[in-house]
Amino acid sequence: MTVVTRFAPSPTGYLHVGGARTALYSWLYAKRNNGKFILRIEDTDLERSTPEAVQAIIDGMQWLGMEGDGEIFYQTKRFDLYKSYVQQLLDEGKAYKCFLSKEALEALRERAEQTGERIDYEAENEKLDVVDDSVFVVRFRNPKTGSVKWNDAVRGEMEISNQEMDDMIILRSDGSPTYNFCVVIDDWQMGMSHVIRGEDHLINTAKQINIFEAFGAKVPTYAHCSMILGDDGKKLSKRHGAVGVMQYRDDGYLPQALINYLVRLGWSHGDQEVFTLEELFEHFDIENINNSASAFNTEKLNWMNQQYMKLLPAQEVAKHLVWHFENQGVNTANGPDLAVIVDLQAERVKTLKEMAEISQYFYQDFASLDEKAAKKHLRPVAKEPLSLVKEKLAQLSEWSEENIQAAINDTAEELEVGMGKVGMPLRVATTGSGNSPSLDVTLVHLAQEKVVERIDNALAFIAEREANQ
Ligand code: GLU
């Protein structure tokens, strides 16, 4: 059997993490089985679907690296196809036109609420004397007895009674086909072998299986994933922070880390936490998707992100880091290769955003010194060590880590002070704060003249403070 899966979002907002996770499961399952993964935009709800949301979904998928195989399908472009299948069901007596007026329907619903009985739309239609046959909807003739059963790949044996299902509308009075109907036609026509989606679709699945059967079409295997909750156990929402995938990019996460995190959120393979994509392609299966809800844990995502910043080749991380510098208005054309920054800073931060923030001094002068660090380390007592180390650094004929370190050591030795008395003022002077990788590897990536200039600025800063005291 050829495995065909799909991600079928309704474009009514950003690509949220719940959607991204089911997309990932579908994508991985197709990859694992050398199958096909289809992206289908379910934009039949014309009032709620927007082109911006379509773009946000495509951007999110692209950023995560999950592109569909072949063209992207849009349901709004397939109305004629759906309508031809509505006609087929009408011709075969498996669907019928319903002429009940709004008022009549309201009265029926009220009565059904009181009696708890299912509305028999067909019988009600038969009671009508006069019919305006230009205004109607088409309803699917749902079986009245028995139940729909399927073996869910995540939840096991499922059964939903037909009593719980109305004869649902498959074509509205304006001639547009409805959601559950379009999904069946598409899943059937696109040869879907597996439908992986959220558990909020369980009742839709029962309705859809009945339609598949009306066409004598092969019903796909369904896998319903549980919800993602916030860390407080409530449904994940904006309250918990970022929920749209692109927000994670903005916040400084690597797509690889988010993928790994989301896959593990509800799926496991032994105790393994970190997976390469190749490993996921090899091991991902539906059977090991967890059927209980999973809680989103930002701490764990941060941990995963740091793992990836350290594990991936620095050049690969750098491709994502550049976006953050640009976003912060920092031009990285002049300065160290971004891979150098990754190697220097990955240990010190949880996100790429932070990495760019704390590394700006490699590419541009800082607008101000960190207040606390300046107060502590740029005091009159620092003048002598700073002046001497500046002199030694300025004289270096080769700007290397060893020589920079030697200049710092020699200064401390000559002045008979601890290394910190030289190093800390020098660090604040050249990086603007009291926190940086070791000075030899930091300064070597700054131009020699730049280091000298920044030490001069720090000396001027000390002098100015002194004068104002
Ligand atoms: N369009 C549906 C949604 O966004 C998903 C339908 C499906 O996966 O079958 O909730």
CA-to-CA distance for 462 and 243, rounded, in angstroms?
46
Task: Identify the three-state secondary structure at position 157.
Answer: strand
Per-residue confidence (pLDDT) for residue 5, from 0 to 100 = 98
Read off φ and ψ for residue 358, nearest 5 degrees: -85, 0
Question: By alpha-carbon position, which residue is closest to atom 7 of ligand 1?
Answer: 8
469 residues of the chain, pLDDT tens digit each = 899 999 999 999 889 999 999 999 999 999 999 999 999 999 998 889 999 999 999 999 999 999 899 999 999 999 999 999 999 999 999 999 999 999 999 999 999 999 988 899 999 999 998 778 889 999 999 999 999 999 999 999 999 999 999 999 999 999 999 999 999 999 999 999 999 999 999 999 999 999 999 999 999 999 999 999 988 888 887 778 767 899 999 999 999 999 999 999 999 999 999 999 999 999 999 999 999 999 999 999 999 999 999 999 999 999 999 999 999 999 999 999 999 999 999 999 999 999 999 999 999 999 999 999 999 999 999 999 999 999 999 999 999 999 999 999 999 999 999 999 999 999 999 999 999 999 999 999 999 999 999 999 999 999 999 998 7
Per-residue confidence (pLDDT) for residue 284, from 0 to 100 = 97
Q: Concatenated DSSP letters for 317-337? A: HHHHHHHHHHHTT---SSSS-
Per-residue confidence (pLDDT) for residue 194, from 0 to 100 = 98
**CA 196 to ligand 1 centroid distance, Å:** 10
* Residue 12 beta carbon below 6 angstroms from any ligand 1 atom: no
* Residue whose CB lies within 8 A of the most ligand 1 atoms, among 197, 202, 205, 219, for a mutation test: 197
The ranges of the chain annotated as CATH 1.10.10.350 are: 371-468
Tokens 């393994």 identify what position? Answer: 272
Q: Between helices 51-64 and 255-264, what is the axis angle to 10°?
A: 90
Per-residue confidence (pLDDT) for residue 141, from 0 to 100 = 98
| Domain 1-70+226-311 in CATH 3.30.2310.20 | no
Architecture of domain 313-364: Orthogonal Bundle (1.10)
Per-residue confidence (pLDDT) for residue 170, from 0 to 100 = 98
Could you give the C-alpha distances from 360 to 205, 251, 391, 455, in angstroms and in order? 52, 17, 25, 17
102 catalytic residue (yes or no): no
Could you give the C-alpha distances from 308 to 192, 197, 255, 299, 301, in angstroms and in order? 34, 28, 10, 14, 10
Q: Are 353 and 322 in contact (CB under 8 A)?
A: no
Per-residue confidence (pLDDT) for residue 146, from 0 to 100 = 97
Overall CATH class of domain 371-468: mainly alpha
Q: What angle do CA 453, 459, 461 make, to 5 degrees?
A: 105
CA-to-CA distance for 409 and 418, rounded, in angstroms?
9
Tokens 């100015």 identify what position? Answer: 464
Ligand 1 atom with least separation from CA of 42: 1
Could you give the C-alpha distances from 290 to 195, 346, 397, in angstroms and in order? 16, 32, 62
* Residue 183 beta carbon below 6 angstroms from any ligand 1 atom: yes
Amino acid present at 213 = E
Tokens 């008395």 identify what position? Answer: 421
For residue 355, give the nearest of 340, 367, 342, 369 by alpha carbon. 342
The ranges of the chain annotated as CATH 1.10.8 are: 313-364
Per-residue confidence (pLDDT) for residue 454, from 0 to 100 = 98
235, 238, 372, 375: which is the annotated catalytic residue?
Answer: 238
* Residue whose CB lies within 8 A of the most ligand 1 atoms, among 7, 42, 185, for a mutation test: 42
**CA 41 to ligand 1 centroid distance, Å:** 9
* Residue whose CB lies within 8 A of the most ligand 1 atoms, among 45, 201, 222, for a mutation test: 201
Task: Identify the three-state secondary structure at position 247.
Answer: helix
